[in-house]
Structure 1
């Protein structure tokens, strides 16, 4: 019977290719999959901690897995290194640590495609589970940009129009080069850009730094989920930048 393998971050291409050959069912532990309360993770990690890594812990505690593959290299974070030790010391299943230093680019067609942003992020996240080349897509003319990591709660992305280009670590994910700092730092100064990071994430420093340098930026962070204030800030920023919200763009297309 194929194994059910939980992954954290973006494991090296060779590891994903091996899992694909083995027919393993790959589960992304960074995503909120468990129905249990996130507070249950407090048995192993502090409550005041990165919500993504708390989610990893909760999924690992509550899902039926055969093993876990967690990337602890420069393409993820030091937090993942410590979480790997916590899980290895706690769970009865193997925890494999990897360091993804891959440099072969796969491109980022989804990041530049015209597509609802929530769907786009879902597809980018799922692309990590396959070693196959990406499908070619036409790049759209962007109206705005989102820089950062995939948020724990994708509803943060709802206000953005389909013509949103994605930058930051999410682009590195699709390119399968999560440790490519130059690609992660790349932005378009002409596009109104929301710089996002999870609260308590080390990437917050880079988000703030790039946001201060950018002429048309909003820097924002969220913990478990986006607050009404965070959503309102994004909507106001897009509106003041002359960018139609997703609902307006859909209505215009329908009309």
Structure 2
């Protein structure tokens, strides 16, 4: 998105403060950019200082207000620091997008080492809960949480079995948190289809696999980070003020559920 898009897409997040985890590249960066172009003050994070600095520079070049913080979501101190620094700078939190995930294995479930199962559970599911524990006291009335899951959560594929299972868990987590955090905070979920990012490169860089995935969609194309950002921005905004506990599938019509 170019800077001139700022005028085209409205200012739904003017005066709002948005934290996006794992937001220095791919879908997370796309979401941060969209919310920033719509007026949000952004707090971006990822595990590496270099990535955080580079992403912040790109966003600031588009006139976006950014606080950039290193945060490995499975590290309690870094999670707490992310929230503390946000509140010190801005005094509140209006939007929290939980996007961090890991998929370190292509093993079958029963062949996956315990340590890898733990790591996936820790980062893909538990970290969202622990982050919200720290953030909850600072969330404003009318605030919004968006959890990023995956189409893989509906039918976990063999090569990404445990990843898929953790993404299934996020559908349940969305429902549970929506009930618990109502009426002041809405909690929704986005389930992206396949998007060619660094994270998904093992799938989308192979021409045959890519074609096969495109054929599975009704729209005959893979998703873009902008597609995911637009859906997330909608759910996070007041345009979705009567929507909570829901999962929005953004997958070009790929089979998900009835």
Q: If the length of structure 2 is used for normalisation, what is the TM-score?
A: 0.32
1 or 2, which has the higher helix percentage? 2
- Choose 1 or 2 for highest CA Rg: 1
